[in-house]
Structures are given as structure tokens and as C-alpha cells.
Amino acid sequence: MGSLTLSTIRKSYSAVEVLKGIDLEVADGEFVVFVGPSGCGKSTLLRIIAGLDDATSGEVLIDGVSVDAVPSAKRGIAMVFQSYALYPHLKVRDNMGLGLKQAGAKAEDIRARVSEASAMLSLDDYLDRRPAELSGGQRQRVAIGRAIVRHPKLFLFDEPLSNLDAALRVNTRLEIARLHRELKATMIYVTHDQVEAMTLADKIVVLNKGRVEQIGSPMDLYNHPANLFVAGFIGSPKMNFIEADRLGRKDAATIGVRPEHITVDFESGEWKGKVLHAEHLGADTILYLDTERAGFISVRLFGEQRYDADDIVYATPDPARIYAFDGDGAVIGGPAAAPAPKADVQS
């Protein structure tokens, strides 16, 4: 129906290798998110899956069949971009149906599919408007509708929410999650935003500089990061990294502890320090501390807290939530003492 296999995909632009051998299995119906910093190769990989770009080497298989010789339009995929790429002179219904029309579908079939998609996306009242008469969120829904009407085997999304304001991003994110449940379609979604990745994905692929750092479920990556990069990328505020030497530990190079796994007290605790800054967010309080032993750390406390700048406090990490990394950044201790080897996670 819509499974995908990537086999050692490499891509070079002249002398620069931007994808350095990507292997991945996506099961039918899975929601997979590619996440990583800007420039790590996410869009390039998506374009290779879509057939908009050729890999330098390696193979793309859809439902077990190599599509290297299959042109983009025949791969059974639909892509949604950050820029909505709608035709300004066409009404919403015609923007949504254009791909089907170009493929030679009958007018009544196009009408049926457009109304099915428009009902799913609450666009019924907008079908006769042109893109200029829509908000950004509505335009992005039209772009998603245009993908849905094609009944693709694979949906590919490239940072579809980046142009929306924060509230709309959350709404549209929920809508995409609901669509995935309703359509039971295979979706591959690219973002640089780890929150989007964590909230949408069945499986996250963390990319960095053209390589896969780790593949796993959101909670796998949060609880069992394989290395410093993933530990620092997933979670906000990010994990504190402390030189192991400072803490008198000879068994590791770096110690990691998440801000939410540290408690603070006025009277006693492990790391004495001063509050440099306190962010009172209502639901959370974030403290930035300068501690004698552990250096600069951030702490995330639940709810409203009375700590403020210049307070002297004691911070104590939860011993069950401390990670240790070796000089190469690999996890060697902590809750992830035995992270699953990459090859196992992928299969």
C-alpha cells in the first residue's frame, strides 16, 4: 500500500556530499518525521523520495519495488511544501482538483474527491474563493487538500507549518495528526522543530550533517538518546551538559541531565549556586543557575515558584536520570545504559 525503503542513499553536489548513506524502513501507514538542524539534508532526502531529484547512489523502493526509473508523477506520492504553491488565479476547488484533471480524471470523480477532501479539512465554505482571499492557515489546508484528492500511497510534507503563526501551527499540527488517523496513510514529514517531531511522529529519524544519528519513537529518543547530539536536540530547554571532570567522574567525558530532572532548594542540595535569571511562565518556571560544581545549568520547575535572580540555591539532579557520554559523544551510562544498536532500531 505505501511502504518505503531507502537503501544507502548518497547525494553529492559537485565535491560536497550532503547525504552520506541513509538507510531507512517506513512501514505502511506509519508517520515518520525527519528532524534535524537547517542544512542537514532533510529536503534533499525528501526530494529524492519524491523523484524530484536523483540520488548519486543508493536505491528508493516503494512497496518493495525500485522506483529509480519511475518519474515523480508516477510514484503515487503527493508533496506539501512550506510555500503553499497554489495557483493564484484558480478557485480553491480548481486548485485542489488540478492534479486529477491533468491526470485525465473524469469531472464527476474530481468533484467527488474534492468534496471529500474539503469536508475533511473544513474548507466547504471556501471552495469558490481564490488563494488571495484566504488566510495562511486556510491556504495550507488547500495545499494539503490538493495532496489528499490524489489518494497517494505516500504523503511527503516539507516544513508545512513554518509560515504559520504559533497558534495556527498548533491547530494545523493537530489537524495533520487527525488526518493521519483517518486516512491511515503513510506520511513522511520534514521539520527542524523537535516539538513538531515529538508530537506527530510514530518514528523520528534524527539527521545531522547528512547522516542518521538515531531512529526511534519520540519517547525512545527522549529517554534513551544514543549520543550527545540527540540528547541535546530533543527536549526544551535542552539537556545540561557538564564536564565529567568537574564532578570528579573519571568514567566519562560529559555528564548530561535534563532541566526537568533537577530539583532546587533554599536550604541544602548537591550543587550550590546563584540564580542568574528566572523565567516565570506560569505553567513552568525556568531557572538559569551558575553553580560552583556543575557550572551553568538550567532547571525546569513545575508551576509558579518563588525563586528569583540573585537567590542562592542548591540544585540536585535525580540520580536515576543522569546520562554519561564518552569522548566521542556516545552514551555510556544512565537510563540509556544499553541503547539499542542503530541497526536493530531501524529494522
| Footprint on this chain of ligand ADP (rule: CB under 6 A) | 13, 18, 36, 38-44
**Which C-beta is closer to ligand ADP: that of 143 or that of 294?**
143
Residues in the chain: 347
Residue 186 within binding range of Mg ion, rule CB under 5 A: no
Which residues, 31 to 90, sit near Mg ion by CB under 5 A? Answer: 43
Q: How near is the Cβ of 215 to ligand ADP at its closest, in Å? A: 16
Q: How near is the Cβ of 192 to ligand ADP at its closest, in Å? A: 7
**Which C-beta is closer to ligand ADP: that of 43 or that of 186?**
43
- CA-nearest of 167, 146, 165, 4 to 75 is 4
- Per the CB < 8 A criterion, the answer to whether 45 and 126 are in contact is no
Q: How near is the Cβ of 209 to ligand ADP at its closest, in Å? A: 9
Choose among ligand ADP, Mg ion, none what residue 39 binds, the Cβ cut-off being 5 to 8 Å by kind. Answer: ligand ADP
Choose among Mg ion, ligand ADP, none what residue 216 binds, the Cβ cut-off being 5 to 8 Å by kind. Answer: none
**Which C-beta is closer to Mg ion: that of 160 or that of 256?**
160
Q: How near is the Cβ of 40 to Mg ion at its closest, in Å? A: 9
Report the C-alpha gap between 74 and 35 in whole angstroms.
27
CB count within 10 Å of CB 283 equals 7
Q: How near is the Cβ of 20 to Mg ion at its closest, in Å? A: 17
Choose among Mg ion, ligand ADP, none what residue 44 binds, the Cβ cut-off being 5 to 8 Å by kind. Answer: ligand ADP
Task: Give percent helix, percent strand, percent coil of the chain, each to the nearest 5.
Answer: 30, 35, 35
**Helices vs strands, H then E, count in the chain:** 9, 19
Of all residues in the shown chain, the one whose CB is closest to Mg ion is 43
Q: How near is the Cβ of 13 to ligand ADP at its closest, in Å? A: 3
Query: What residue type is assigned to position 108 of the chain?
Result: E
Cell of 122: 473544513
- Per the CB < 8 A criterion, the answer to whether 169 and 161 are in contact is yes
Cα 272 to Cα 2, 316, 319: the distances in Å are: 55, 9, 17
Q: How near is the Cβ of 81 to ligand ADP at its closest, in Å? A: 11
Choose among ligand ADP, Mg ion, none what residue 113 binds, the Cβ cut-off being 5 to 8 Å by kind. Answer: none
The DSSP code for 229 is H
Choose among Mg ion, ligand ADP, none what residue 13 binds, the Cβ cut-off being 5 to 8 Å by kind. Answer: ligand ADP
Report the C-alpha gap between 193 and 210 in whole angstroms.
17
Choose among ligand ADP, Mg ion, none what residue 38 binds, the Cβ cut-off being 5 to 8 Å by kind. Answer: ligand ADP
Choose among Mg ion, ligand ADP, none what residue 319 binds, the Cβ cut-off being 5 to 8 Å by kind. Answer: none
- Left (φ > 0), alpha (ψ -120 to 50) or beta: where does 269 sit? left
Interface positions with Mg ion (CB under 5 A): 43
